[in-house]
Structure 1
Amino acid sequence: MSRPSGAIDAGPLAAADQFQFRNGDRVVLVGNTLIEREQLYGYWETLLTALNPDKNITFRNLGWSGDTVFGEARAGFGTPTDGFRHLKEDVLALKPMVLILGYGGNESFAGPAGLPRFLKGLDTLLDALAPTEARIVLLSPLRHERLAAPLPDPTEHNKNLELYRDALREVALKRGYWFVDLYGFPQEREAPGARAVHLTDNGIHLTAYGYWRSAFSLACGLGFTPATWKITFDSRGNRITAEATDVGRDPVAPMRLNVKDSTLPFSPSPKVVDTNGNDFTTRRILRIHGLEAGGYLLKIDGRAAAVATAQQWQRGVQIAPPTEASKQVEQLRKLIIEKNRLYFHRWRPENETYLFGFRKYEQGQNASEVPRFDPLVQKLDAEIAKLRTPVVHKYEIVSNGGAQK
């Protein structure tokens, strides 16, 4: 059930032999910095949420910077054994139905000699989480991105990362888990002639733009594939066809359409870059037959969206998503970020030592306030569920004289 990562050069993502999310799924992300920092940007969760508008899926992020399969970073003032116990208990308490695990990046610094220990620790962790009966996705570590000096040459480290990536793939194959190879995705910007756009801040940790880019590789790895949005219609109202969207015609105005997309568009890039035609843009083609010669303006929700001649409309014009739809998905992403922020304070309060640890005799009485985050998180879950669903947008074609595109 391994799926390769890869660039999506056009189109929204559509289901095709994909990892099957189910209505009511509780997805728990566990791993190192790659997982923890995703909650700061929300691009992964936003895309997976938008791709499943008909399903109630909740996400909880249990990532911990510097973590390994041994739970060492979670030990606090205790031992690695305590850290592993915390890791196991935190996951089991959430009763996940889907587990997305991101490990191997930190362990890879031990090189080939450390691989057997990593695999043993991984097996121990997977066995410990088996009682959840969750469907499990294993993520490969990222490739170490080459950045300018004084940051180190990543060549040798990448050789080790490949070893750990391959080992994770074998474990997934043996256990019947889904495997997503994220190792190759940072290479996408290194094609000859492409403008350098860094995906990490230090070669290892993704920036906002890196998470935006990697969201597509994650979706590809889960089996979602590009699907072109397309509407073709006759200006006289005789016929209409559509892909990746539902279209209704205004009965009294054949040049007006009520359009409801299958999914929301993806969030706009956090960085405007020269991509040499390589970016993950949503390909949306509107084709109109039977227009009289001249120029025509497309309005979406009353806003000017595109201008082209009758001949160009007949060939098909690439258009952008509705402005309001892009605003909706960004609002969705911001809600997801806020939900994750509140949940982070629920399960990792900053003064944990005073609330639950060896100094709880001083302020342990305040521990009762921590569960008060629960209704706040649940409220945002409900708002996310409403916002993930596309709404109808009004498309209208009007004469624009002899205007050219």
Structure 2
Amino acid sequence: MIRTATLTAALACLCSGTHLLAQDTTPPPAAPAAATAEKAAFAFKDGDRLVLIGNTVIEREQRYATLEPRLALALGETKVTIRNLAWSGDTVYGHARSYFGPPEEGLERMAKHLELLKPTVVLLCYGSEMAFEGLSDLPRFLTGYRNLLALIRKQAPGVRVIIATPPPLENLPPPMPDLTDANKNLSSFRDALRKFAGSQNTYFVDWFELMGGMPKPGQTAKPLTENGVHYTREGYQKLSTKLVQGLGLTPPQISEAELGGLQKEVLKKDELFFNRWRPQNETYLFGFRKHEQGQNAKEIPMFDPLIDQADAKIQELKAELLSNKKTL
């Protein structure tokens, strides 16, 4: 049988509290009026280019195409294009996207992609490793996050930034480990990240709380993850709905069947873009073996018009859905 400690470590590799209080029957003090005021919606502008940056939970969204259709419809006539630059297992230091070199190489690669894309809005989600590593490295992490924000703002002057917390983990039946302590770490990390986001002039989305916050003791009755960490299709449907709500927008009242055509086109666009910015044979095209196949690098920009065509189709399908809703 696999030991729980070993499995916990494995999940930490795959993935990349409000502190537990003693029982107290004394009611909490009333929050000040300013704290209870409704949060203003994030101000998207027509023509915005939103770039998603983060680790596993963001990258895997392109498997299901649940966010872009919901956000597009929630924005109504406002047109926003979306590009997913997330990388599973990545950190604010650029570890995963560094390939064979140091983390700095990963940040350099990100800088080049940002220069190419010229985003007007960036949504970041980092820090899921804190669930397993604890918060002892939090000061260094926040310094790394601050440096990452500086890099993004240098490459995309005037960019507006959204920082989202990692969502909670789930307790599943054995042999999956108990992730209660990991969620306590995420809850405390969320509190620190909220303060950090405020100090960096960014829009903060508490994805942890929107997805239910600190889970109740015991095993999850209706799992939305495969293994406690990685969300399923149904999980991403909820993740995306809650993220749209966290941006102060109203998710569309529309069935999955009605979203089907739009999701299909988003999946197509996301695959084209993935092959554009992250080709499988990048070492041969641009790296130390480009002397073998570097002549084929000229084909990579040929994805751009195909991506633009997919964007246009997405906007066309969105307009049809909005028109149909108005006539009902």
> Taking structure 1 as the reference length, what is the TM-score of the superposition?
0.66
Contact 1:353 1:359 (C-alpha < 8 Å) held by counterparts = yes
SS at match of 1:137: strand
Instruction: Give, as a single letter, the amino acid of the residue that structure 2 aligns with 1:349.
Output: P
SS at match of 1:26: strand
Instruction: Give, as a single letter, the amino acid of the residue that structure 1 aligns with 2:200.
Output: R
Counterpart CA distance in 1 for 2:213 and 2:150 is 35
Cα drift, residue 341 of structure 1: 0.6
Contact 2:210 2:246 (C-alpha < 8 Å) held by counterparts = no
Aligned residues: 286
Counterpart CA distance in 2 for 1:184 and 1:64 is 24
Cα drift, residue 19 of structure 1: 0.9
Cα drift, residue 185 of structure 1: 4.1
Counterpart in the other structure of 2:77: 54
Counterpart in the other structure of 1:391: 323
Alignment CA distance shift 1:221-1:186 (3 Å): closer
Residues 1:359 and 2:289 aligned together: yes
SS at match of 1:143: coil
Alignment CA distance shift 1:395-1:184 (3 Å): closer
Contact 2:127 2:166 (C-alpha < 8 Å) held by counterparts = yes
Instruction: Give, as a single letter, the amino acid of the residue that structure 1 aligns with 2:303.
Output: F
Contact 1:69 1:103 (C-alpha < 8 Å) held by counterparts = yes
Residues 1:28 and 2:51 aligned together: yes
Counterpart in the other structure of 2:18: none
Contact 1:145 1:203 (C-alpha < 8 Å) held by counterparts = yes
Cα RMSD of the aligned pairs, angstroms, is 2.4
Counterpart in the other structure of 1:77: 100
Cα drift, residue 92 of structure 1: 3.1
Counterpart CA distance in 1 for 2:79 and 2:127 is 31
Identity %: 44
Residues 1:180 and 2:205 aligned together: yes
Cα drift, residue 265 of structure 1: 3.7
Contact 1:108 1:115 (C-alpha < 8 Å) held by counterparts = no
Contact 1:104 1:141 (C-alpha < 8 Å) held by counterparts = yes
Q: Deviations over 1:225-270 (max 9, x none)?
A: 47xxxxxxxxxxxxxxxxxxxxxxxxxxxxxxxxxxxxx64342xx
Cα drift, residue 123 of structure 1: 0.7
Q: Which runs of 5+ in 1 are unaligned?
A: 1-14, 227-263, 269-325, 397-405
> How does 1:304-315 map onto structure 2 within 5 Å?
none
Counterpart CA distance in 1 for 2:198 and 2:326 is 47
Alignment CA distance shift 1:212-1:135 (3 Å): same
Match of 2:177 among 152, 161, 169: 152
Q: Deviations over 1:66-96 (max 9, x none)?
A: 0000010001111111112112222232111
Q: Deviations over 1:20-59 (max 9, x none)?
A: 1110000000000111011111111111011123122110
Counterpart in the other structure of 2:237: 212
Match of 1:342 among 268, 272, 284: 272
Counterpart CA distance in 2 for 1:126 and 1:189 is 28
Alignment CA distance shift 1:111-1:196 (3 Å): same
Counterpart CA distance in 2 for 1:97 and 1:66 is 25
Counterpart in the other structure of 1:139: 164
> Taking structure 2 as the reference length, what is the TM-score of the superposition?
0.81
Structure ID, larger Rg? 1
Residues 1:373 and 2:303 aligned together: yes
Counterpart in the other structure of 2:14: none
Counterpart in the other structure of 1:266: 254
Residues 1:198 and 2:240 aligned together: no
Match of 2:146 among 120, 123, 130: 123
Contact 1:68 1:107 (C-alpha < 8 Å) held by counterparts = no
Alignment CA distance shift 1:195-1:147 (3 Å): closer
Counterpart CA distance in 1 for 2:210 and 2:121 is 23
Q: Which structure shows the bigger proportion of residues in strand conformation?
A: 1
Cα drift, residue 360 of structure 1: 1.0
Counterpart CA distance in 2 for 1:214 and 1:155 is 20
Cα drift, residue 167 of structure 1: 1.6
Counterpart CA distance in 1 for 2:114 and 2:313 is 25
Alignment CA distance shift 1:117-1:267 (3 Å): farther
List 4+ stretches of structure 1 deviating above 3 A: 185-192, 264-267, 392-396
Alignment CA distance shift 1:114-1:365 (3 Å): same
Instruction: Give, as a single letter, the amino acid of the residue that structure 2 aligns with 1:217.
Output: K
Alignment CA distance shift 1:36-1:335 (3 Å): same
Cα drift, residue 121 of structure 1: 0.4
Counterpart in the other structure of 2:132: 109
Counterpart CA distance in 2 for 1:49 and 1:360 is 39
Contact 1:33 1:65 (C-alpha < 8 Å) held by counterparts = yes
Cα drift, residue 152 of structure 1: 1.2
